[in-house]
A and B are shown apart, each in its own frame.
Chain A
Amino acid sequence: MDLLTWTYLLVGLSFALYIGIAIYFRAGSTSEFYVAGGGVSPLANGLATAADWMSAASFMSMAGIISFSGYDGSVYLMGWTGGYVLLALLLAPYLRKFGKFTVPDFVGDRYYSNKARVVAVVCALFISFTYVAGQMRGVGIVFSRYLELPIEWGVVIGMAIVFFYAVLGGMKGITYTQVAQYCVLIFAYLVPAIFISMQLTGNPIPQLGIGSAVADGVPLLDKLDGLLSELGFAAYTSGTKSTTDLFMITLALMVGTAGLPHVIVRFFTVPKVKDARLSAGYALVFIAILYTTAPAVAAFGIYNTLQSTSNQPIASLPPWVQNWEQTKLIQIEDKNGDGKVQYLADPVSNELRIDKDIMVLASPEIANLPNWVVGLVAAGAMAAALSTAAGLLLVISTSISRDLFKTFRPDMSEKKELRIARLAAAGAVLLAGYFGINPPGFVAEVVAFAFGLAASSFFPVILLGIFSTRVNREGATAGMLTGLLFTVSYITYFKFVSPELNSAEHWWWGISPEGIGSLGMALNFLVCFVVSWMTPPPPSEVQQLIQDIRIPKGAGKASDH
């Protein structure tokens, strides 16, 4: 069978599977719609969390980013996994014991204030919309590259699928679909990685292959250091970012990960506090399988690319280079007319431009794998994008139906609430699709926003809400607003107002906009403490609530109380 047939077949089969699961597990009550009835096993929740978390960016782009930034790329590897330690140890078990449906629920109740709840809802909506637009775009890109459809069509098909299973299935449908999507995406990621590792280093385990020697006996990483230095790039294992910036970006990504509402809400779906802890562990195992493979894919990818292009005659480049040249993801321009490719750090004489997504998308062809593997990678990328989009859409619909409507119309019937949740999910799908087709020019920039906001708004107030009985309504509201305003202003200034000043010498203490969420978080903590101590302590029933969430006994299912 040819490539296109295989791709249609595998992508089509995976879609049929997701829809089948969604119909079987569709939600019938608000509790099932919001938190899958609180009956998901820790293992299933771990799998679903992993799929929910790993987006189109993790699947398609992360390895490529590492390929081209080497050691600097470690911030993503550590940042996007280390956050789970914070989540498991500091947040998940207590929020599960608290036992409601959303993050704004917790903020509103713990800080006995609907104003604080509304600030939390606004953050949750902003973070989720930012993210979901990127996912829809990802679906469109996969469709256009593998199925030869226009991006717009890809986005529309992706919207239809997500619409179907998120709106119908709610959290219950999404959870079991995500379990299936995890299996598809991890299989699709590992198969090419294992084959390439075997071909390059003789070791079938990519995590060990990256530390092994290539054919001439020199360790792969040393070989890369040498090759890249010769061409004028920084050595692969040293990087160019300052230590301060590496530190702050990693911290912002970790804390941001722990504060992302679509990840937190997954821990409301398990039956017990114990299960919340355990399922965070499972989630990180499943995430780590991909995240420890990614640096190997990155190193193999850049090595293969250098070997097959750098200083090679343009006329005899391998077929995969020619294939991807047609999609413009690889561009070659023979500037000095010597008939060879010069890949150089200097942009004036460099003749090769490679899109970062190549490292994963072209990996089956680089390794000469059969056509069905290419189809598998397409289905995997789609699974990664759809599962994350669905999780985000659920947060958006829950925020609207529950945190806004239900808060101000508490006597609303469950049936009506469910209808509003479904309508909100439908509206969110349409809006996300619109942004997928007409992406704002700054999709990449807004990712810094999402993590910065989660780090500087949610994380400190949730953490202090659990670990301090003294922090009060005034402190939390002031802290959230300070962290938020500071982070938004800094990012807006360097990304949109004066992008020409966005370089290390203009940054405060050398902290890039990507890492500024760490400072925003510190400010939030500081303001929260100072204001709390100057104002009266929380009322005694809130004190009681805090004592109660610290102890696992008597959790019960997540409910409306």
Chain B
Amino acid sequence: MPPSSSHMKQYWKKNLQTLVILLSIWFMVSFGCGILWVEELNAYRVGGFKLGFWFAQQGSIYSFVALIFVYVVRMNWLDQKFNVNED
């Protein structure tokens, strides 16, 4: 049964929403915490790190990894829900 076009539009819309949320976080952990707000965050400390410096050299990278896996789980769920999975 070919999926109806409104069904597919719905799937695509959900996909775009997911992207907007995840890419906003992507922007905030790297360009935000690592570059734009680095001075402000450096006033706080985690262990021997200044927080802004930690985001720039460690935290952003951990966040990137987490973001991709959240995306994988979310998209697999969406594919299932909208029945667009590969066989």
A residues contacting B by CB (< 8 A) are: 66, 71, 73-74, 77-78, 81-82, 84-86, 88-90, 93, 207-208, 210-213, 219-222, 237-238, 243, 246-247, 250-251, 254, 272-274, 277-278, 280-281, 284-285, 288, 291-292, 295, 547, 550-555
**B residues in contact with A274, CB < 8 Å:** 75-76, 79, 85-86
Q: How far is the CB of A468 from chain B (nearest CB, A)?
A: 12
| A contact patch SS | helix
Contact A78 B56 (CB under 8 A): yes
**A residues in contact with B54, CB < 8 Å:** 211
Most chain A beta-carbon contacts within 10 A, residue among B11, B15, B71: B71
Contact A552 B84 (CB under 8 A): yes
Which residue of the partner chain A has the closest CB to B23?
A89
Q: How far is the CB of A437 from chain B (nearest CB, A)?
A: 36
B residues 19-74 near A (Cβ < 8 Å) are 19, 22-23, 26, 30-31, 34-36, 38, 42, 46-50, 53-54, 56-58, 60-62, 64-65, 67-69, 71-72
Partner of B19 from the list A90, A280, A551 (CB cut-off 8 Å) is A90
> Assuming A77-B57, A78-B61, A550-B12, is B68 touching A281 (CB within 8 A)?
yes
Contact A554 B86 (CB under 8 A): yes
**B residues in contact with A295, CB < 8 Å:** 57-58
Q: How far is the CB of B18 from chain A (nearest CB, A)?
A: 8
Most chain A beta-carbon contacts within 10 A, residue among B36, B50, B54: B50
**A residues in contact with B68, CB < 8 Å:** 84-85, 88-89, 277, 280-281, 284
Contact A74 B64 (CB under 8 A): no
Contact B11 A285 (CB under 8 A): no
> Assuming A71-B53, A81-B64, is B12 touching A89 (CB within 8 A)?
no
Q: CA–CA, A222 to B56, complex, Å?
A: 16
Q: CA–CA, A552 to B76, complex, Å?
A: 10
Contact A221 B53 (CB under 8 A): yes
Contact B61 A81 (CB under 8 A): yes
Contact A277 B30 (CB under 8 A): no
> Assuming A211-B54, A292-B61, is B69 touching A281 (CB within 8 A)?
yes
Most chain B beta-carbon contacts within 10 A, residue among A251, A280, A551: A551
Partner of A292 from the list B19, B38, B47, B62 (CB cut-off 8 Å) is B62
Which residue of the partner chain B has the closest CB to A208?
B47
